[in-house]
Amino acid sequence: MTKLGLKIALAFFLFAGTFSVFSQKNKKEVVNDSNTPLHLLAPDYKVPYGVISESNVKETLDRVLIYLDKTTPARVVDKNNGKEITDYEKLDQNSQLERGGFRLASYEWGVTYSGMMEAANATGDTRYSDYVDSRFKLLSEVAPHFRRLMNDYGVIDPQMKQLLTPHALDDAGAMCAAMIKYAQTKPDFDLRPVIDNYMNYIMYSEYRLDDGTFARKRPQYNTLWLDDMYMSIPAIVQMGKLTNERKYYNEAAKQIKQFADRMFVKEKGLFMHGWVESMDDHPAFFWGRANGWALLTMTEVLDVLPQSHPDRVKILELYKAHVKGLAACQSGEGFWHQLLDKNDSYLETSATAIYVYCIARGINKGWLNPLAYGPVATLGWNAVSTKVNKEGQVEGTCVGTGMAFDPAFYYYRPVNVYAAHGYGPVLLAGAEMINLMKKFYPKMNDSAVQFYTTEQRTNAPIFGMNDSTRPGEMQAGETRVDENAPILFLIGDSTVKNGRGDGSNGQWGWGSFFQQFIDSTRITVENFALGGRSSRSFFTEGLWDKVRPGLKKGDYVFMQFGHNDGGPLNTGRARASLKGVGNESQTVIMERTGGPETVYTYGHYLRLYIRQAKAMGAIPVVVSPTPNNRWNDGKIMRQDQAYAKWAKEVADQEGVSFIDLNKLSCDKCDAMGEEKARKLFMDTVHTNYEGAIMNCESLVEALKAMGDFSLNKYLIK
């Protein structure tokens, strides 16, 4: 190597070493002081991660409610001395709504009222609806009196002037939508004059483009603000629901389409904040909360737009495309950024809360796949919950924001707990997450939040869907009366439990009736038998692995197999075991997988269940197969030279109890005669209700004949 080459190599080595040290210093190492597998160590998340609970969400919402109830009084006072005025006939030019932390008739509070109503519905807590009651009652009652003052003096309380004479969509839309929702559920007092006043402004006075799209004259002439979707359209569609007039539905759908045609960027799945008619290149800034207003608009429209409306499908497609685009922008901390596609812009609370609500709502309504978007909503709520401080204030919310043509404007908008935009979205998000928890079954799997449409009962930290309990089945051991009470476990085929064990097809297994013969206050029956299974397939399909972990000392395991142990070894259902009880085996190539499987004897599989049950402290009992509905010369055919014989041989070899159910029930069938006994069967194998009861009675009689067998103390005398 030349001297120059040596110098280059040395320089590279020193640089690599320095970089390595720098990397190690800037990467927090998780120390493992236990025997926990490394892949199960807890990550150092900046926000809570995992499945949420209804109680924790409710506690967060309650803090917000208590804070807002305290800081937004519902009273009229004299502005000179602060004294409350209760006789509204005496209002004069000095009268005003009492000043609190937030305005009672602002568009932000329209969202808050909607959030309060959703929280009341989700939690059943009337304090949330009482909040809306008291504020809407006040506004509706004082409105005509303040109108009189306005006519007399021309100047009144600014909040009431905004309500009585709106001059922008901000003044009208969100409040109008909330009042219509309220009026449809609680017509305790008349809000219709206020609603009609708002709607007349929205429909007939607001400035529009030539095609009717709502527009503004600032900051440039004929500018569309994405915010105005929410400040108008939800109220319009709600008016359609209130009046059943189709013109409102049509207007709402038209506005969405016309905003989207100009402002939705399909490649990103996001909306631009602004659009200016006179510009060729529009200001392409994807502001978080404005995108929230757009998504919230579509969510509210889809809530009430008739299924038959011709534009519903298109709006739903737009909603889904927007959700997909937004989900791709979510940060690892669960929040979304102030500018959605700019990861160096700050993380913002109000937009995040709106997205959580809309996504959770979409899942609950069936518009979105819970498996794909449930974790997105959960991560978002966990982030939002960290921004509700102990007083109930919502932190991290961007203040009111105009429209700009440069990124710095958005990057440096302040955040403040008095930015009213955060409170309604947090209430909406929390309420809908509670609804989501009631409808779906989130669970941690391999340290990640996963959503399931059926409850997953496994406690394994990592599980596949074939490892978890099948829908409608129990987890082994869950019915235990107390920690010392035994359980009687049943394993077998459809003659033990047919279908779900409810007789829905007219077929019953004897295991569905065992509970009737024992004292259920002291011992319970858990029937894990499953139709179509053999001694082999109950083991190879992992069904025994669901039972075994639930076994405790003193439990009982009754096993009955044989009906499905014949047939092909490797083709079709391929469930056959080898005949007999020996140690023979045969390796076959399975048709369904193309791979090998070693098949053992019927006796071998029974021995597995017996020995493993014993290892758990349980008491195994081998039961011979129930009779088949096959006859010869008026006598039912028995299995005393096949599976019944082999079952007894294994029980004797392993020193466990054996019940020859085949013989006992065959004897009964012979006694009642072929014609009558055939009526106990649905086909050649499966029994009806009476046939299953007969088999169960035979088994109980055999138990009683066993004298001091420990299970007998639980039998009903």
Full DSSP string of 335-353: -EESBTT-TTSPEEHHHHH
User: Where does the pLDDT of residue 471 fall: very low under 50, low under 70, confident under 90, or very high at 90 and above?
Assistant: low
DSSP annotation of 500: T
CA distance 425 to 375: 19
How big, in percent rounded to 5, are the helix, strand and coil portions of the chain? 45, 10, 40
CA distance 26 to 343: 20
Residue ranges with strand state E in 400-527 = 441-445, 448-452, 487-492, 524-527
Query: What average pLDDT is seen over the chain?
Result: 92
DSSP annotation of 489: E
Q: Which amino acid is at 514?
A: F
pLDDT at position 502 is 86
pLDDT in tens, 497-523: 998 888 888 999 999 999 999 999 999
CA distance 209 to 212: 5
Please count the residues of the chain.
Answer: 717
pLDDT at position 28 is 54
As a whole number, mean pLDDT of residues 561-570 equals 96
- Give percent above pLDDT 70 in the chain: 93
User: Where does the pLDDT of residue 22 fall: very low under 50, low under 70, confident under 90, or very high at 90 and above?
Assistant: very low
Residue 392 · residue 463 · CB < 8 Å: no
CA distance 551 to 532: 24
Q: Is the pLDDT of residue 40 over 80?
A: no
Residue 192 · residue 198 · CB < 8 Å: no
CA distance 681 to 693: 12
pLDDT in tens, 240-274: 999 999 999 999 999 999 999 999 999 999 999 99
* Annotation: CATH topology of 54-452: Glycosyltransferase (1.50.10)
CATH second-level architecture of 487-714?
Answer: 3-Layer(aba) Sandwich (3.40)
pLDDT in tens, 333-382: 999 999 999 999 999 999 999 999 999 999 999 999 999 999 999 999 99
CA distance 298 to 316: 8
Total H helices, total E strands in the chain: 23, 19
CA distance 285 to 270: 10
Domain ranges of the chain: 54-452, 487-714
pLDDT in tens, 72-97: 999 999 999 999 999 999 999 999 99
Residues with Cβ within 8 Å of residue 636, at least 6 apart in sequence: 627, 628, 629, 630, 666, 669, 670, 674, 677
User: Where does the pLDDT of residue 136 fall: very low under 50, low under 70, confident under 90, or very high at 90 and above?
Assistant: very high
Query: Which region among 57-66, 178-187, 469-478 has the lowest average model confidence (pLDDT)?
Result: 469-478
